[in-house]
Amino acid sequence: MGLSGLEIYKLLPKTNCKECGFPTCLAFAMQIAAKKVSLDKCPHVSEEAKKKLESASRPPINLVTIGSGDEKLEIGNETVMFRHEETFYHPAGIGFLVDDDMPQAEIDKKISSIEALRFERVGQRIEVNLIALNNKSRNKDNFLSALEKITEKSKLNLVLMSDSVETLKAAISVAKEKKPLLHGANKENLDPMVSLAKESSSALCISSSSLEDLSALAEKAASGGINDLVLDPGVKSLREMIESLTYIRRMALRKSYRPFGYPTIAFTRQSDPFEEAGEAASLIAKYAGIVILRNTETWQALAVLTCRQNIYTDPQKPLQVEPQIYEIGSVTGESPVLVTTNFSLTYYTVESEVEAGKVPSYIISVDSEGMSVLTAWAAEKFTAEKIASALKESGIENKVKHKEVIIPGYVSVMSGKLQEESGWSVKVGPREASGIPAFLKGMKK
Amino acid sequence: MALELLKERWSNAVNTVTIGATKEEGGTRTSIVKAGGETCLPFMLNEGGMPHKPVLAMEIFDIAPQDWPDILKEPFKDVYEDPAKWAKRCVDEHKAELLCLRLQGTHSDFGNRSADETAKVVKSVLDAVGVPLIILGTGDEEKDNIVLAKTSEVAKGERCLLGDATEKNYKTLTASCLADGHNIIGESPIDINIAKQVNILISDMGLGSERIVINPTIGALGYGMEYAYSIMERARLAALNGDKMLSMPFICFIGQEAWRAKEAKGPESEHREWGPESKRGPMWEFITAVSMLQAGADILIMRHPKALEETRKYINNLLGA
């Protein structure tokens, strides 16, 4: 939360000494507020003022990076409690747990099944981000050999889980490049863990099932010089988990409460894939920065990853599909041609209904700047001219032998104009996509 | 220093809608359900209460389902030709506490069954089970107005939930609900302003706001779920902050939407990387339900028994069995 120029001015010496290069302290303050100059330019500013300004210029929830390179995971830096207020910015990391007490072959199998959890849907890749290696054996060598397997077989980001400082120290010396998240610190081992995280410049997780303790630990870790903290509100029931995650986010955003100004990590508790997916979906919706699961069933992960994709879709920038021809089913030169907008929800709704109708068809998505049919029509982004030019430019004329286009029922008024503009005969389709299957079947008769 | 959590204090509660009427109340139901009544955001029980657990209804049709994938038909294949038997299966075996009867057969595409014929079907379902009913038309305004009016009469006094009323077509259904003592579903196209408008229009005709349920028209997981999610969050926040014309419980057609998604019904033979649809389908419906519950859903219309069971477990896990 930035301070205004006037608020900054109050923290300055107000001597107008000009040593900063500006004529007055107020002018300097204005420039700081606009983020055009740094406070360092003032040689006389007090330590207290520095501290205040620093904390005011930090985001209410720190951004924490785990891993490096293209697959690195950035979490935190969220600004709202509810998607509609803005958006949720940094999609929750989804990770899977590997216990180091499993036989080697099982660990191998687990890694491959985790690696397989990558899908493509609505034109986006949705995939797993992390492996959380758990030192369940409490044995250092087990942990290190499992870690070796993982780094050999997978490029996924890492959460290294052990409460032994020594084990994590050994692990980090091997896996430093991967910039893992250390999990981590608790009431008993905070100081040495903080030192380890500092030495290895790793992000550090702190755990406590009491929010009070969690905030005290976070404060201590921060004063030890660590900014890359991740909060783990511990093992508790899903309801308590939702509550904890909500309070952490709310206190950080609404109270600028520093000890909670970090992203969170949450672990599922249930072993059944359904129950676990239900937990994971809830944790994603309710503010977890990372969710770690156990089951690696594809049908479970697909649902969980899709849930994250939905929750983290920016409501201000609707998803769009490429404006082009889409072929649904085994189309021929006789197949019907439908037009709709390029708003992805609209397009995919139409697509799934066309599929359901089982009549192979072409759908042309017209560039309507990601608006739905009625909105686009009202905003003149889905007009007779636009559709006519899409018909021309898409190349559909080379694909079908007929010249009949089906338009959404809601824009039936444009029929005459479109016919005129395009030379295609216009058939008015149903208003709602749900009417498409019956409509297409009716055409066949 | 003790950590003082920032707790919300809401000024208003979501309305409680009662569906079903027992003998004492002038109906013939053996059980009733209450939905809504929240005084907090979903599951934030230390800031308020959820006096009534979200209600799970199973969806049945007056004709054999037309577009259901096999995996969804399987549990009902021996009963779905007969709505009364189908209803009984849902209640006896799957412990549905509420049923949602969709009068699909009245649509011109699906047999164009008359209002009188349909009334008999409705009666047979009412006779077969003791749980309360939600009864839906097909969205064909003209036909719905005839069929639902008749249905409403036949079910007079049973305090059903009838739907859907829309901004353009609410008068006939509202009049029926007023005359026959039913509740009403007001539908709006993922639009909070229209949702409110529909509620105002219905209330203005004299139907009490505690007899209205909002259908925000959800999307399935992966197919616009997030739009409904945010519309519902917005509406619920408005309700808790005192907006009486948005203080109605939400009804969400989970099964209907989820089973349109290819991720739910697409066969494994075509989508090997997704795994078996026998698990994937119910999972898709379940996670759609979970998402909507987290946004404030009060009545969830489910289709697959496994999804129903998992959602019930989920709710019990959060709110206690």
CA distance A225 to chain B (A): 22
Q: What is the DSSP string of B16-85?
A: EEEE--BGGGTS-BS--EEEE---SSTT-GGGS---SPPEEEEEEESS--SS--HHHHGGGTTTTTSHHH
Query: Please, what sign has the CA dihedral across residues B147, B150, B155, B156?
Result: positive
Q: In this complex, which of A243, A274, A432 lies closest to B44 when CB atoms are compared?
A: A243
Q: Which residues make up the CATH 1.10.15.40 domain(s) of chain A?
A: 5-57
**Measured between CA atoms, how close is B191 to chain A, in angstroms?**
12
Residue B230 to residue A82, Cβ atoms within 8 A: yes
User: Which DSSP symbol is given to A380?
Assistant: T
Query: In B, residues 18-47, which contact A (CB 8 Å cutoff)?
Result: 41, 43-46
State the Rg of chain B over Cα.
19
Query: Which domains does chain B possess?
Result: 35-318 (3.20.20.20)
pLDDT tens sequence across A86-122 = 999 999 999 999 999 999 999 999 999 999 999 988 7
- Tell me which residue of A63, A79, A74, A64 sits closest to A2, measured CA to CA: A79
Residue A277 in 3-state DSSP? helix
Cβ B197 vs Cβ B167: under 8 Å:
yes
- Asked if A307 lies within 8 A of B291 by C-beta distance, the reply is yes
Q: Which fold has domain A5-57?
A: 3-methyladenine DNA Glycosylase II; Chain A, domain 3 (1.10.15)
Chain-chain contact of A285 with B282 (C-beta, under 8 angstroms): no
Res A321: pLDDT = 86
Nearest to A304 by CA among A291, A321, A317, A314: A291
Is the domain A325-444 a CATH 3.30.200.20 member?
Answer: no
Are residues A367 and A342 in contact, defined by beta-carbon separation less than 8 angstroms? yes
- From first to last of its 321 residues, chain B has per-residue pLDDT tens of 578 999 999 999 999 999 999 999 999 999 999 999 999 999 999 999 999 999 999 999 999 998 899 999 999 999 999 999 999 999 999 999 999 999 999 998 899 999 999 999 999 999 999 999 999 999 899 999 999 999 999 999 999 999 999 999 999 999 999 999 999 999 998 889 999 999 999 999 999 999 999 999 999 999 889 999 999 999 999 999 999 999 999 999 999 999 988 899 988 998 899 999 999 999 999 999 999 999 999 999 999 999 999 999 999 999 987
Q: What is the ipTM of this complex?
A: 0.97
On chain B, the residues whose CB falls within 8 A of the CB of A437 are: 67
CATH 3.40.50.11600 residue ranges in chain A? 325-444
Judge whether B1 is closer than 8 Å to chain A, CB to CB.
Answer: no
Burial-class residue A26 by CB neighbours within 10 Å (0-12, 13-18, 19+): middle
Q: CA of B5: which chain A residue's CA is closest?
A: A247
Tens of pLDDT, residues A15-24: 999 988 899 9
pLDDT per residue as tens digits for the range A211-251: 999 999 999 999 998 999 999 999 899 999 999 999 999 99
* Residues B205 and B179: beta-carbon distance below 8 Å: no
How many CB atoms sit inside 10 A of residue A442's CB? 13
pLDDT the model gives residue B260: 87
Which residues touch B134 (CB under 8 Å, ≥6 apart)?
B19, B57, B98, B99, B100, B101, B160, B161, B162, B163, B185, B251, B299, B301
Max Cα-Cα span within chain A: 88
Q: Which of A126, A245, A298, A373 is the best substitution to test chain B (most B C-beta atoms within 10 A)? A: A298
CB contact under 8 Å between B229 and A310, yes or no, is yes
Residue with tokens 């205040």: A52
Single pTM value for the model: 0.88
Q: What DSSP letter does each residue of A140-202 carry, written as one string?
A: HHHHHHHHHHHHHH---EEEEE-S-HHHHHHHHHHHGGG-PEEEEE-TTTHHHHHHHHHHTT-
* Cβ–Cβ pairs < 8 A, chains A and B: 145
- Burial of B235 from C-beta contacts in 10 A (0-12 / 13-18 / 19+): buried
Closest CA to A50 of A103, A11, A86: A11
Q: Which 56-75 residues of chain B touch chain A by CB within 8 A? A: 67
Q: Helix or strand or coil: residue B302?
A: strand
Distance CA B23, CA B9 (A): 39
Q: What is the tens place of the pLDDT at every residue in A26-76?
A: 998 888 887 778 888 888 888 888 877 776 667 899 999 999 988 999 999
Q: How far is the alpha carbon of A43 from chain B, nearest alpha carbon, in Å?
A: 36
Question: Tokens 């992203």 — which residue?
Answer: A263
- The CATH number for A63-311, chosen from 1.10.10.10, 3.40.50.150, 3.40.50.10320, 3.20.20.20, is 3.20.20.20
Q: Nearest CA to CA, how far is B320 from chain A (Å)?
A: 10
